[in-house]
Chains A and B, each alone.
Chain A
Amino acid sequence: MTENMDKQKIRHFLSDHSQEAALVLIILAVGTLVQLRTGGSFLTASNLNELMREASMLIMVSIGMMIVIVSGGIDLSVGSVMGLSGMIAALVLRDHRQIPIAALFLIAMGVGLICGTITGFVVAKLRIFPLIGTLGTCDILRGVIYLFSKGEWVSQTDMTENFLAISTGTFLGINYMVWFAVIVVVFGFVFMGHTRFGRHIYAVGNSEANARISGINTERTKWAAYMLSGMIAGLAGLLWVCKYACAQGTSATGFELNVIASVVLGGVSITGGSGTVTGVVLGSLLFGMLSNILPLIQVSSFWQRAIRGAVILISVIINALVSRRAARKALERREQNETNE
């Protein structure tokens, strides 16, 4: 009896988390295959460290993007926000070398927050179609970077040792950047799953009209989603400058596309209202792995863009098929129940 119950529990768990389970399997399979193919140069400490440093920014920004997509929008401006916040922080550092690191973080996140507020205003308050509105702010912010930097770069020589240590230093043997990602993931997990506001975001994404009728301030909820996404992108922008030790006008151009790819890979519905933080983390890990292993198995870098596009398309199509199958199964179950009665 209990054994049967246990089995059923496991089956329920797997059917509830089929997407996550599939992602874990794919990650393990891809990792093993690449490890065998490259003769062991994938699972080395230095490569994994590099992979995680790269993926940590992707994971962070993906959490922000997930909040926006769950609320029913999309944010194409995160790449520009990252570039802008990184550039402003780097300029401040160049002109005031004594500034404490914490202040730089505040500046970068503040810049991100302001950008997010503007984007949120455009989408939530002015009610512009999210894709078009954020396409606009993406270009505006990219132009603003040049207004601040006047086309110059901030290079490694303008940065202090302490600042660069953020991307190389470790705590408990794990890179600082990974810790930042962990903080953001924990925040996302608690925020989306266990706060009233997070649940409001799901409700708004599911059906805005119903959410409004049940007393949720939909405008403010959507606005807040963009603000959070902007703030996280601001933080990631600073880490980007740290990691590459260089801030330039084109930093993080097109990064939003990687982010959207990992979010849809993680099973978040692009029409809003569903998606889990675990899925997004796994999706961005898988995507980060893909960009890491393509050079390892000697795929030309010119192919990577097409592969990225194909990954987005294939994963949204798989999502669509999975949800179709789930709907059909639910229907069958209902019909069976009816005939049983």
Chain B
Amino acid sequence: MKQTNDKIKDLFSHWETFLILIFLLVNVINISLSPYYLNYNNVMNSMINFMDKGLMVYGTMMVLILGEIDISIASIITLSGCIAGWACEQRMPFMVCILLALAVGTLCGAFNGFLLVKFKELNSTIVTLGTQILFRGLAYMLLEDESLKSYAKQLSGLAWDKVLGLPVILFTFILLTLFFAYVIHRTCFGRRLYAIGTNKTASYFSGIYTDRIKLAVFSVNGLCAAFAGLFLAAKLASVRASIAQGFEMEVIAMAILGGASPSGGKGRVGGVILGVFIIGLIRYGTGLVNISSETLKIIIGCLLIVVCAVPNLRQVLADAKEARRGRAGLL
């Protein structure tokens, strides 16, 4: 009897349990709001809409586990998408366009990592804020106010084809999930990420190459963003320098809702998957009942703040109690 009690307690101490509850709640609300919610085609189309953010979430998650943050990913998507479109316009072979886009994304990420490793005084807030502006600025320099379409025919398969009955993007997401679940939870590299996020100095002195890992994680993050950029470009069928604005907030919200924390050392892949689906389905549901994108901004912003606040709440309340007791003690 006591054992089962403990088990239940254990279950509820996991963030993932709450996530499943939230996930069910979102679904129930959405189903009661709109009769079109549970339509297979609709669900699959909505996946195509929010999965491009899902593709980036593991890169962001690893950055968060390290205790850093990267808000330049939205600009990396734009830049790599624009590079792909531009390369197609120059009549380069199709594979070269794709590889070029991925390479540029990786380089952008590596540039972030390089600055952080080379200048330890800087923190990731200001570096990625600067590169966020810089990368989108490069996209503007490349395309000015043009929009490119010539690539669309070759790339459209990425957006609308199906593999095993699933949209390509969902299939890719599943593959990425398996890959990152293995890397983060089953390899030395993954354990080192958590170690660095928990205590950077201690990990350095216990022989972990913290710099090299940081550089690698930021590069992978850039690669993920470039990957998502290709899918986004395929879906939009035309690229310009103003696409993907504000994506970073939703991706970060997904990762943090999934249990990662900007203070580092936390988060599991299972939770992050739920985070992706919860935010994506909220977007899908509110789209069905015709809520404007501006109202949606408010909803997602509030959600982000609530999600970040919940893990802190226990500490905040404890401190308040402490302070009250301290004041009473003084009296």
Contact = CB atoms under 8 A, between A and B. Distances in A.
Given A143-B294, A146-B294, A129 B262 contact: yes
B308 interface: yes
Interface residues of A, number: 46
A271 B125 CA distance: 9
Interface stretch (A7-15, A96-104, A184-192, A317-325): A317-325
Contact of B121 (A122, A139, A306, A324): A324
Given A127-B315, A270-B123, A306 B298 contact: no
A313 B144 CA distance: 22
B35 to A, nearest CB: 27
Contact of B316 (A74, A125, A146, A306): A125
A127 B241 CA distance: 35
Contacts of B300: 139
Contacts of A172: none
B298 A143 contact: yes
A128 B311 CA distance: 10
B22 interface: no
A264 interface: yes
Contact of B304 (A135, A270, A313): A135
B127 A313 contact: yes
A257 B304 contact: no
Nearest to B262: A129
Contacts of B137: 303-310
A139 B122 contact: no
B97 to A, nearest CB: 22
Given A136-B304, A309-B132, A323-B121, A302 B145 contact: yes
Interface string A299-339: 01011111111101100110110011000000000000000
B129 A312 contact: yes
A79 to B, nearest CB: 13
Contacts of B184: none
Contacts of A303: 137, 140-141
B297 interface: yes
Report the interface size class on chain B. Answer: 35 or more
Nearest to B263: A129
Interface string A136-155: 11111011101100010000
A6 B101 CA distance: 60
A132 B252 contact: yes
Given A133-B308, A142-B297, A305 B126 contact: no
Interface string B87-123: 0000000000000000000000000000100010111
B308 A128 contact: yes
Nearest to A317: B119
Contact of B302 (A138, A140, A304, A319): A140
A260 interface: yes
A126 B312 contact: yes
A131 interface: yes
Given A74-B125, A129-B308, A316-B126, A137 B135 contact: no
A313 B134 contact: yes
The B interface, classified by DSSP as helix, strand, loop or mixed, is helix
B295 A128 contact: no
Interface in B38-92: 69, 71
B308 A126 contact: yes
Contacts of B138: 306
Contacts of B119: 316-317, 320
B136 interface: yes
B309 A128 contact: yes
Contact of A136 (B115, B130, B145, B249): B249
B301 A122 contact: no
Given A147-B294, A303-B141, A312 B312 contact: no
A270 B294 contact: no
B131 interface: yes
Nearest to A313: B130
A122 B315 CA distance: 15
Given A127-B312, A129-B69, A305-B133, A143 B301 contact: yes
A256 B84 CA distance: 30
B317 to A, nearest CB: 11
Interface in B164-222: none
B262 A312 contact: no
Contacts of A319: 121
Contacts of A312: 126, 129-130, 133-134
Contacts of A144: 298
B11 interface: no
A235 B302 CA distance: 25
A313 B292 CA distance: 36
Contact of A305 (B136, B248, B305): B136
B287 interface: no
Contacts of B301: 136-140, 143
B305 A136 contact: yes
Contacts of B249: 135-136, 139
Contacts of B294: 142-143, 146-147, 151, 249
Nearest to A320: B121
A127 B292 CA distance: 30
Nearest to B246: A139
A136 B144 contact: no
A316 B130 contact: yes
B272 interface: no
Given A140-B297, A303-B141, A133 B305 contact: yes
A127 B127 contact: no
Contact of B297 (A126, A143, A316): A143
B135 to A, nearest CB: 7
B73 to A, nearest CB: 13
Interface in A255-271: 257, 260, 264, 270-271
Closest 5 A-B residue pairs measured CB to CB? A306-B137, A309-B134, A309-B133, A305-B137, A140-B301
24 contacts: A122-B309, A127-B309, A129-B262, A132-B262, A139-B297, A139-B300, A139-B301, A140-B298, A144-B298, A146-B292, A151-B294, A257-B133, A270-B122, A271-B121, A302-B140, A302-B141, A302-B241, A312-B129, A312-B130, A312-B133, A316-B122, A316-B127, A320-B122, A323-B121
